[in-house]
Amino acid sequence: MSAGNKPNYKGPKIEVRQQTRSIEEGKRVNLFCRLTEEPESVHWILDDEDMKSGGRFKVWNDKADCYCQILVTKEDDAGLYVFKARNKRGECCTTFSLHVIPSVKPISDVDVKELLWQNTQQNEELVRSNSSK
């Protein structure tokens, strides 16, 4: 990493099983952007609202790799996403859209809680299997 450059992105990417910018309601979606420089701050924004970790959302970065994970998508997760990163030398910004295909059966809050629990169990199993290797 050079000390004199502002961040620039090498993305963005939306990583979903179907490898499209559309996702079925209730599925997990991973938003990802790789930067050329490590940022001081990162923001994922949907409809002018800064997304924070909690509930159905996980937001984090690992050096220059930046992630926003929606564990259980809902119809209102569709829209224009803005990714912004900043360091002392400047800011970069990019946008992309996500389309959520409505479920045939409406997803209730009970369904969301069950899907979140299932995702947590799957993540714990992955951690256990990786740590035993």
Return the domain boundaries, the chain: 13-131
- % of the chain residues with pLDDT over 90: 29
Question: Which position has the higher pLDDT, 13 or 51?
Answer: 51
Residue range 13-131 forms a domain whose CATH class is: mainly beta
57-61, 77-81, 86-90: which has the minimum mean pLDDT?
A: 86-90
pTM for the whole thing? 0.68
Which letter does DSSP use for residue 18 in this model?
T
Q: What angle do CA 108, 109, 110 make, to 5 degrees?
A: 85
**pLDDT over 70, % of the chain:** 67
Q: Residue 89 in contact with residue 4, Cβ under 8 Å?
A: yes
Interval 100-120 mean pLDDT:
73
Confidence of residue 16 (pLDDT cuts 50, 70, 90): very low
